Amino acid sequence: MRIEQMQRMTEFEIPTVMKHGLGAIKNLGDEVKKLGVKKPMVVTDQGVINAGILDPVEASLKAANVPYIVYDGVVANPPLEVVANGTALYEQENCDGLIAVGGGSSMDTAKAIGVEVVHGESVLEYECAEGKKPLENRIPPLVTVPTTAGTGSEVTMWAVITDPAREFKFNTGGPLIAAHLTLIDPELHVSMPPQVTAGTGMDALCHAIECYTCHYAQPQTDAVALLAIEYVGKYLRRAVANGHDLEARYGMAMAAMLAGLSYGSESAGAVHAMTQTLGGIIPVAHGGAVAATLAPVMEHNWIGEPEKFARIAQALGVNTFNMDVNEAARASVESVRQLAKDIGCPTLTDLGVGKDMIGRLAKEAFNDPQTVGNPRDLCVQDYEQIYSKCF
């Protein structure tokens, strides 16, 4: 533990109740009632509906005699307009609670809608940035039902929303935005295509690695991060290879949740500085971008926390018995690189990112607030070098 970590007050808060199990979705209606919600708005996307994943959600609500409406306008990297449209529908229908069904985009959209409902203005006013307003009111009761195993948004105190005018993805967050309950049912994950399983799984791994090694790490976040890394190393290949492997799906669902908890009340590091700014400029899948950038960032970072990176290698199943700390730390980089290769993750070129963008992307990443938490100092030139290795 760094001296500066011991010299400052740290905080680890868990505002969200976590319930999980095969078939857990059957309890949704009763859980919503326990929260005192009489008419929730279900926030989701067309992909969830087309895959039939919303069917058991609606069945549970109907069985419990809970009236509801569905807002299915969520898109990837949700922009402010999608949030505003959801807020308008919520108020028009006199709803009093939210159910987010989907991946990180649906859960973040629901959180942002909650912010607008209780504050009476755009979520943009509550961006985590200098000069913006802090959240003052708890969002309406929110139940998150993740259908992917990646973002951890079901338990984080953050929402990431896109401001198209700035071509920028911003964070809003704190304990007041967290879900009241998350209901995790791995049976809802079996329809995920292999490429989505791979991308979201690498996102979960990245959350755990970045939060374990960043300047904001603390014992509680270290504990959940390490177990998340172990679960990803054990289960991700299996989940990609066989989507109906329920043990692997359960393991990855827990990995995503634990990695979400590893955020604590702070932020991550260079990978998310790179990928969030990238996602604000062009519509890339966040998981794929993370998979392309994680190993190159680790290659830069390991020297800042060699003991922790050596421990990451062990968590991923590397036999480090005959290695010194530096060798083991470098082995963690290769282990992650091999994992991404094994599960068919894309490069930035595959995602449509051109090398001519490196200059702009490096500057944007350097200015992202998540750079501050990175375990090794960074400048714009460092980001340029890292980006060049991601193609």
List the structure tokens of 140.
């309406």
Q: Please, which pLDDT band fits residue 11 given cuts at 50, 70 and 90?
A: confident
pLDDT for residue 6 is more than 70: no
- DSSP for 312-347, please give it: HHHHTT---TT--HHHHHHHHHHHHHHHHHHTTPPP
Per residue in 68-96, pLDDT tens? 999 999 999 999 999 999 999 999 999 99
State the pTM of this model: 0.94
Give the pLDDT confidence score for residue 130 in this predicted structure: 78
Instruction: Return mean pLDDT, the chain.
Output: 95
Contacts of 362 (CB under 8 A, 6+ apart): 380, 381, 383, 384, 387
Instruction: Please check the confidence at residue 362 and state whether its pLDDT lies above 90.
Output: yes
Longest dimension (CA), the chain: 65
**Residue-wise pLDDT tens digits, 367-379:** 998 999 999 999 9
Q: Which of 19-23, 122-126, 276-280 has the lowest mean pLDDT?
A: 276-280
Q: pLDDT per residue over 328-351, tens digit each?
A: 999 999 999 999 999 999 999 999
Name the H helices within the chain: 3-6, 28-34, 46-50, 54-63, 80-92, 104-119, 194-213, 219-241, 246-261, 270-281, 286-301, 306-315, 325-342, 358-367, 380-388
Residue 311, pLDDT score:
98
pLDDT for 226 equals 98
245's tokens: 């492997």
Question: Which pLDDT value is given to residue 267?
Answer: 73
Whether pLDDT at 8 is above 70? no
Q: Is 85 exposed, middle or buried (0-12, 13-18, 19+ CB in 10 A)?
A: middle
